[in-house]
Chains A and B, each alone.
Chain A
Amino acid sequence: MRAWHFTEMPYPYYPPDEPSTRINLPNKHFDPKIGAELYNRYFDEHMIADELGLDLMLNEHHQTPSCIDTCAPLSAAILARQTRKARICLLGNPIGHRNDPIRVAEEMAMIDCISRGRLECGFVRGVPYEVYAANTNPTQTGERLWDGVDLVIKAWAATDAPFNYEGRFWHRRSINVWPRPYQTPHPQIWITGSSDKETTKRVAERGWVFANFLLPHERVKVLFDTYRANFIEHGLPGGGGLAYMPLVYTADSASDADKGAEELRWYLTAPRTEPHFRNPPGYMPVAANVASIRQAEKGGAAIARNASLDQLREQGLLVAGTPDAVVRQIKRFYDRVGGFDHLLMMDQAGFMSHERTVRSMTLFAREVYPQIKDLPRTTPLKVASAAAR
C-alpha cells in the first residue's frame, strides 16, 4: 500500500453566502496576496510530505475557489524539481479538454525527466462542470479522453520516426516528441471512474491504475471487482492496481479527530454548483438521466453533504481518528472492497491550517503508514466468481 498526500489547494476566503462557487463566482473575490501565500504554503506541505516518505498527488479544476491548482502540470514541474523521493501522481490531465494532446505528451515527458522518473501520469474525463470552463462538447468527453490518451501513448512510442495523425478530434503533422519520457516505455497511466463499468474494464485491459474518489464502499467494491475480473481475463502479469481517495485526518486525540474531520468536510459541503452545471446535456448517458428524473420524483437521494461524520466513516468517505483508529478504518475499508493498492489522502481542505495539516500528515507517516504499508497488493479475481456478483 502506498499513501499519497493530496490537497485541491482551496481558496476558502470568499463570502460564504455566495449561491454558486463553480464556473461563475466572480474572481474579484480572489485576493492575489492571499493566493500567493496559499500556493507557497501548499507546495511547502508537499515538500514536507516528501520528507515524511509520502507520495504526492495533484489534480486541477477551473473557475472555482475550491481548487486553485488550475494547471497541474505546472505544479508537478515545481515538485519534480523541489522534492527528491516522492512519486508525483498527476491525476490527472483532462486530456479531452486540452486542445493539443501532443503538448500534454511533451509536458509529461519533461516532468518525468526533471523528476528522474517519478511521474505517475493520470488522465481524467473531468467532472461535468469542467465542460463550461473548457467549452468542450459535453456529448464527447469520453470519446475525447480515450482518443487523447491513445494519441499521447502513440506519440511516446514513436521513437524511430515522426508520424502524421489525422483523427476525429485532432490533426497533427510530423509528431516527434522531444524529450521522451524518462521511464520506458512511459510512466504508469492512471484513469479515474465513478460508475461506468466499461471504463473500468478498459483500464484493467490495458494494465493501468484505476482510481476513484469519495464513494461508498459498496460502490467501490463493484468497480474494483470489475477491474480485478478483467485484469486476469486479459492475462496481465503485473502493473496496474487500484486507488481510492477518502478524506483522511490523523489526530492526537479522539476529540481532535472529529474537529479535523469537520474541517475536511468543508470539501463536501462548501462548494456550490448550480444544477445545470452539474448535468450538462450528454455528459451522463440517457438511461442515467432517466434514472435521475425518477429518483427526483421520489424526493431525491441522501447526498454526502448531508451525512454525519459517523455515516461518512461507515461508508468509507472519511478516515479520521487517532493513529490506531485510522489503521482500523483503513483495514476495514480494504477488507470491504477486496483490497486496493493506493490510498489517496485528501488530508487538507477548506480552512485547515498549515500546522494542523502537517501534524496530521506527520502522525500518519510515523504511526499509521508502517502498519498498512505491507498490506498485500490487490490480486486479480477469478472471472467466474466476479461475474456471479
Chain B
Amino acid sequence: MSSNTGLVTIGDAEIEVERRGAGKPLLLLAGEEMLEREAPFVDDLAAGFEVIMPAPPGFGASSRPDWITSPDDIAYIYLSLLDMLNLDEVAVIGCSLGGWIAAELATKDDGRLSRVVLVDPYGIKLGGAADRDITDIWQLSPQKVAALKWRDPEKAKRDTATMTDAQLGMAARNLESFARFCWEPYMHNPKLKHRLGRIGVPTLLVWGDKDGIVTPDYGRGYRALIPGATLTVIPEAGHYPHLERPDAFLTAVGDFLQAPRRGIAAQGDKR
C-alpha cells in the first residue's frame, strides 16, 4: 500500500498529513487517540480511495498555534487543506473528535464534499443545563473511561514498557490537546446544533450500540438535526465501532459511499 506522510503549512500551522492508496479522495478524520493511524480498516478503505489523514493541530506531529482553541477552528484548517490540495467530490469519515470536526466542516462549506460519515461524534448538547449528554471523562479514572468506551475494555490497554518515550510523549500531548480544545464548553459547540441543517450532502451516522460516552440516543438526536441523515447502529461495539467491528463498519460505510446520490438531492441541494 503506497503511503506518504509530510507536513503541510496552513497559515501559521504545520499540519501532518498522511496520504495512503489511490482513487477518489477520502478525508479520514481520526479520533482524539489517533488510533486510526494504525488500524487495519484504513488499508481496506485505501484499496478503493486515496485516504487523506491529517493530524489536528496539537496532535501527532502537527503544531498547535495558540489561537486554535476549538474543533470549530480546526474545521477551518481542514477546509484550507482541501483548497490547497484542490480536492473535489471528497468523502469524509470522522470518528469521535474527528466526527465533531467533520460536522463543523460540513456546516461551513460542503462544496468540495460528496458524502459525510460521522462515527460516534461529539459536538452538540441536546439536554438541559444539568443533563449529562456526554459522559464527563475527566472526572473518571482511565479504567472507568475505558469500560465506557470499549465493549471489550481489554482493547484499551497499552503496555507502556514497550513504548518509546516519543510514543508516550505523543500520546500525552494528544490527550493534552484534546482537553485544550474540548474542556469548556465540554465536548460541544453550543452553535453547532443550530448549524447542522446547513449540511447539504448525504450524511450517515454510525454508532456503537454499547457506547457509554455518547449513547445511541444521542446519535438519534444528532441524526434528527441533519437533513436526510441516516443512522446505522452496530451491535457489540462501543465508542469506536470502526475499531471493534471493522467488518460491520466497512459494510455500512461501503454501501453508503457507493449508493447512488438521491434522497438529499431530491429535497433540494442548498448549494
Taking Cβ atoms with an 8 Å cutoff, the residues of A that contact B are 23-24, 132, 135, 137-140, 168, 274-276, 280-282, 286-287, 289-290, 293-294, 297
Question: What are 5 A-B interface contacts by the 8 Å CB criterion?
Answer: A132-B139, A276-B141, A280-B138, A281-B175, A289-B168
Q: How far is the CA of A175 from the CA of B167 in the complex (A)?
A: 47
Given A274-B141, A275-B141, A293-B160: A281 and B179 interface contact (C-beta under 8 Å): yes
Q: How far is the CA of A287 from the CA of B161 in the complex (A)?
A: 16
Query: Do residues B142 and A276 form an inter-chain contact, with CB atoms below 8 A?
Result: yes
Q: Out of B139, B165, B168, B183, which one reaches A138, CB within 8 Å?
A: B183
Query: Do residues A281 and B161 form an inter-chain contact, with CB atoms below 8 A?
Result: no
Query: Do residues B139 and A276 form an inter-chain contact, with CB atoms below 8 A?
Result: yes
Interface SS of chain A = helix
Q: How far is the CA of A23 from the CA of B140 in the complex (A)?
A: 12
Q: Out of B66, B141, B184, which one reaches A137, CB within 8 Å?
A: B184
What residue in chain B is nearest A168 (Cβ atoms)?
Answer: B66
Expressed in whole angstroms, the minimum distance between the Cβ of B213 and any Cβ of chain A is: 15
Contacts of B161 on A, CB cut-off 8 Å?
Answer: 297
What residue in chain A is nearest B69 (Cβ atoms)?
Answer: A137
Tell me which residues from 161 to 215 in chain B have a Cβ below 8 Å from any Cβ of chain A.
Answer: 161, 165, 168-169, 172-173, 175-180, 183-184
Q: How far is the CA of A135 from the CA of B185 in the complex (A)?
A: 10
Q: Out of A275, A282, A297, which one reaches B179, CB within 8 Å?
A: A282
Q: How far is the CA of A333 from the CA of B168 in the complex (A)?
A: 38
Q: Out of A24, A135, A286, A293, which one reaches B176, CB within 8 Å?
A: A286
Question: Which of B161, B168, B172, B180 counts the most A-chain CB atoms under 10 A from its CB?
Answer: B172
Expressed in whole angstroms, the minimum distance between the Cβ of A170 and any Cβ of chain B is: 15
Contacts of A275 on B, CB cut-off 8 Å?
Answer: 141
Contacts of A289 on B, CB cut-off 8 Å?
Answer: 168-169, 172
Query: Do residues A286 and B179 form an inter-chain contact, with CB atoms below 8 A?
Result: no
Expressed in whole angstroms, the minimum distance between the Cβ of B178 and any Cβ of chain A is: 7
Tell me which residues from 122 to 140 in chain B have a Cβ below 8 Å from any Cβ of chain A.
Answer: 138-140
Query: Do residues A286 and B184 form an inter-chain contact, with CB atoms below 8 A?
Result: no
Query: Do residues B184 and A135 form an inter-chain contact, with CB atoms below 8 A?
Result: yes
Q: How far is the CA of A24 from the CA of B168 in the complex (A)?
A: 30
- Counting chain B residues whose Cβ lies within 8 A of the other chain, the interface size class is 20 to 34
What residue in chain B is nearest A280 (Cβ atoms)?
Answer: B138
Query: Do residues B169 and A281 form an inter-chain contact, with CB atoms below 8 A?
Result: no
Expressed in whole angstroms, the minimum distance between the Cβ of A178 and any Cβ of chain B is: 32
What residue in chain A is nearest B170 (Cβ atoms)?
Answer: A286
Q: Out of A138, A276, A282, A287, which one reaches B140, CB within 8 Å?
A: A276
Contacts of A281 on B, CB cut-off 8 Å?
Answer: 138, 175-176, 178-179
Q: Out of B141, B168, B177, B184, which one reaches A293, CB within 8 Å?
A: B168
Tell me which residues from 93 to 150 in chain B have a Cβ below 8 Å from any Cβ of chain A.
Answer: 138-142
Contacts of B160 on A, CB cut-off 8 Å?
Answer: 293, 297
Q: How far is the CA of A287 from the CA of B172 in the complex (A)?
A: 9
Query: Do residues B184 and A280 form an inter-chain contact, with CB atoms below 8 A?
Result: no
Given A132-B139, A287-B169, A293-B160: A282 and B180 interface contact (C-beta under 8 Å): yes
What residue in chain B is nearest A138 (Cβ atoms)?
Answer: B179
What residue in chain A is nearest B159 (Cβ atoms)?
Answer: A297
Contacts of B165 on A, CB cut-off 8 Å?
Answer: 290, 294
Contacts of A286 on B, CB cut-off 8 Å?
Answer: 169, 172-173, 176
Expressed in whole angstroms, the minimum distance between the Cβ of A253 and any Cβ of chain B is: 45
Q: How far is the CA of A292 from the CA of B165 in the complex (A)?
A: 11
Expressed in whole angstroms, the minimum distance between the Cβ of A133 and any Cβ of chain B is: 12
Expressed in whole angstroms, the minimum distance between the Cβ of B184 and any Cβ of chain A is: 6
Given A168-B66, A281-B175: A137 and B169 interface contact (C-beta under 8 Å): no
Q: How far is the CA of A282 from the CA of B178 in the complex (A)?
A: 9
Contacts of A138 on B, CB cut-off 8 Å?
Answer: 179, 183
Chain B 213-224: CB-based contact to A (< 8 A → 1; otherwise 0) = 000000000000
Contacts of B175 on A, CB cut-off 8 Å?
Answer: 281-282
Expressed in whole angstroms, the minimum distance between the Cβ of A336 and any Cβ of chain B is: 33
Given A138-B183, A168-B66, A280-B179: A290 and B138 interface contact (C-beta under 8 Å): no
